[in-house]
Amino acid sequence: MEEARNPARQLLNLAAEGCVKPEHKPVSFPFLSEAPGFVQYLKEERGLQPSSVLHYRYGLRRFDSYLTRIGAHLAEVSPALLAAFVVDQAPKLSRAGRSNLCGVVRVFLRYCHRERILSEDLSAAVEMPQSYRLADIPRAITWEQVRSMLQVVDRRTVRGRRDYAILLLLVTYGLRAHEVVKLTLDDFDWQQERFQVPARKAGHWSAYPLATVVAEAIIDYLQHGRPQTTDRHLFFRVLAPHRPITNAAVSSSVADYLRKAGIHVHRPGAHTLRHTCVQRLIDAEFPLKTIGDYVGHRSPQSTEIYSKVALSALREVAQGDGVAL
């Protein structure tokens, strides 16, 4: 027996020696040859975490790629070139992304001037894009599109029953995804026909009358879809293990149903239906303060953005003759 073990041990040792994990090459940081101490500066002087340093690498790779594309070097950077860089990158990024990129380049240019890599401090030439509080138009959809979205939900399935109830909660009350996933059985008072949202973004809770169509959808899910569990959360994953549904799953489901209904909207998700709820109230000419209280806005300014949108064909729905939501 021992004679058989020895060859086996030798084979295992040889295999172990040949399975040495290859060393991962460190990811190169832009401008290492021109500014070799910049990474150390970020870590030691600015005290940045590795994730933040990677953020700088991402931004500077954009800057480096742009210089390479136009055939310029770091020593040739000028205010005009920096302005052209911002103009070139702006359409490719979100408003926050543009500001972050400009911030990264400004820090890098200040460092280069301090270290005499550049003779002039050009950081001020990287102008931050102007951000206006009411600049973005909400991504609401029409009430007719809401009907189309609800019609593509297969309510014969467990997932369909669950998602139909979630969609109605989102579009009727303007709830956020995280507010839906935190709902529990204890938040519903069936005798008084009302429910509460206890954990709102503004730090307060809201109580709502329970619309009949929403109540019927939730009851249908409770009776024919929700798994048997001692967990008091309302909505659960369809597949085992049956854990409470997540924010990402809610937004992903909304985007999926919008796609199936052929509805195209920028960044589809749970907030699409929240915006739709607010826009419906705007079109019904409710005061902004009332609307803000209804959807749990932290301040009246959060609601003002919707008032920029012209009144649309949703008005007749708000006045009646529509799907009762």
Query: Do residues 100 and 195 share a domain?
Result: no
Asked if residue 138 is part of any domain, the answer here is: no
Query: Do residues 148 and 84 share a domain?
Result: no
Query: Do residues 296 and 177 share a domain?
Result: yes
Query: Do residues 163 and 270 share a domain?
Result: yes
Predicted confidence at residue 40, as pLDDT, reads 93
Residue among 98, 106, 176, 280 flagged as catalytic = 176
Residue 69 is among the residues annotated as catalytic for this protein? no
Asked if residue 30 is part of any domain, the answer here is: no
Average pLDDT, the chain: 82
Residue 224 is among the residues annotated as catalytic for this protein? no
Provide the number of structural domains found in the chain. 2
Predicted confidence at residue 162, as pLDDT, reads 97
Query: Do residues 184 and 300 share a domain?
Result: yes
Residue among 155, 226, 271, 280 flagged as catalytic = 271
Asked if residue 92 is part of any domain, the answer here is: yes
Predicted confidence at residue 304, as pLDDT, reads 56
Q: 254: domain CATH number?
A: 1.10.443.10
Residue 24 is among the residues annotated as catalytic for this protein? no
The boundaries of the domain holding residue 205 are 143-318
Q: 48: domain CATH number?
A: 1.10.150.130
Residue 113 is among the residues annotated as catalytic for this protein? no
Asked if residue 32 is part of any domain, the answer here is: no
Cα angle 22-25-26, degrees, rounded to a multiple of 5: 140
Asked if residue 324 is part of any domain, the answer here is: no
Query: Do residues 183 and 274 share a domain?
Result: yes
Asked if residue 77 is part of any domain, the answer here is: yes
Predicted confidence at residue 5, as pLDDT, reads 52
pTM: 0.56
pLDDT tens for each residue of the chain, 325 residues long? 444 555 555 555 545 444 444 444 455 899 999 999 999 999 999 999 888 899 899 999 999 999 999 999 999 999 999 988 988 888 888 778 888 999 999 999 999 999 999 999 999 888 866 655 444 555 789 999 999 999 999 999 999 999 999 999 999 998 999 999 999 999 999 999 999 988 666 556 788 899 999 999 999 999 999 999 999 999 999 998 999 999 999 999 999 999 999 999 888 999 999 989 888 887 777 777 777 777 776 655 555 555 554 444 334 433 444 343 4
Residue among 62, 155, 274, 275 flagged as catalytic = 274
Query: Do residues 252 and 305 share a domain?
Result: yes
Residue 289 is among the residues annotated as catalytic for this protein? no
Query: Do residues 109 and 232 share a domain?
Result: no
Residue among 46, 114, 201, 315 flagged as catalytic = 201
Asked if residue 23 is part of any domain, the answer here is: no
Residue 271 is among the residues annotated as catalytic for this protein? yes
Asked if residue 20 is part of any domain, the answer here is: no
Last residue within a domain, chosen from 125, 156, 179: 125
Predicted confidence at residue 25, as pLDDT, reads 47
Predicted confidence at residue 137, as pLDDT, reads 52
Query: Do residues 310 and 169 share a domain?
Result: yes
Last residue within a domain, chosen from 76, 93, 125: 125
Query: Do residues 273 and 304 share a domain?
Result: yes
Last residue within a domain, chosen from 125, 159, 183: 125
Query: Do residues 118 and 150 share a domain?
Result: no
Query: Do residues 110 and 155 share a domain?
Result: no
Q: What is the pLDDT of residues 299-317, one digit of tens each?
A: 555 555 555 544 443 344 3
